[in-house]
Structure 1
Amino acid sequence: MSKYKFNIDNYHAIGHADIEIEGITVIVGSNGCGKSTMSRWLYYIVNTLSVLDSFFFSDFRDVIIKSLEKYSNALDDISNYLDDDKKRFFDHTLSLMTMVTLSNGGVEKLDFYYKRAIGSLDDMLVNFLQKEQNPQQVRRVLNLFGITEQTHVHEDIERNSIQLFSEYL
């Protein structure tokens, strides 16, 4: 059984309390000594700790989605060069990512969708680069994707995406 230790000083009616919780814990005392305050305090601590992982996961998911949305904006810039189905597939993958929670797949599912989105980005970018277009637009798009040279598109996208996901994870 887990053992939790808490120290409370000068909190409402509680001047000082050292609390050890192991198994069943009973709070007793005279009227006005802080039993209800202690009970509420313990409830909020335990409740917060139980959702902390979900909170961190949601924040992680939102950061990853936001990083992909900047690529979506870059895709809008080259939309006349893109296959509409591929762009819809990318956007659909982003919307699926918003529904991933810690309890319905967690990091593994998010990683799966992230890799799917990156693969889709890679395909669209390669298709864009194979067509004739304005050199300044090519430089701008490559810069938005963090790609240094047109000849290293696959390597740069893979490196940047793995680095980003690992960094945020």
Structure 2
Amino acid sequence: MPEFKESEKWKNFGIKELKKEMKKQVYPDGVDFEASTCYHRLVFELFFYATFLVIINGQDFKEDNFAQVGNAIFGEEYLQRLYKMFDFVFYALKPNGRMPQIGDNDNGRLHVFAKQEVLDMRYLLALRAIFFKEPKFKIEEFGFCEEALWVFGEKGYKIWQDL
């Protein structure tokens, strides 16, 4: 929001708070401190989408260099924890793409882009594959998901196809 003289200050404050909260709420292994699979998803979405918006609005963003710009803005430690949050999802998902119900579940989500079962978290792997450009997280059986199209647009679909 360059039209506001304080916008740079607001952005820097937001980044600082995200980094502080990431350390506070997410263990170094990438698991949310609430110890609930569904709260993990909610907290992950809060961090991921905020991080994503900062990145795509950054000066150095060039359509697909998400992780590179993320490291420059947030630092390697922050992005590594975000990556490990994805790791937890990858290793905890059942083969059908559903997350085991562990701990509390209030169905909390930041954005619901497509209708799906509460424990269906396949879309998180597609977001990871595109954001980090990692073919091993492109699970062919799960296919490309509507969430990824809403988040990354056509460019995301192209990245997905090229993985």
Common fold by TM > 0.5: no
For normalisation by structure 2, the TM-score amounts to 0.26
Which structure is richer in relative contact order (CA contacts within 8 A, separation 6 or more)? 2
Which is helix-richer, 1 or 2?
Answer: 1
Which is strand-richer, 1 or 2?
Answer: 1
For normalisation by structure 1, the TM-score amounts to 0.26
Larger Rg: 1
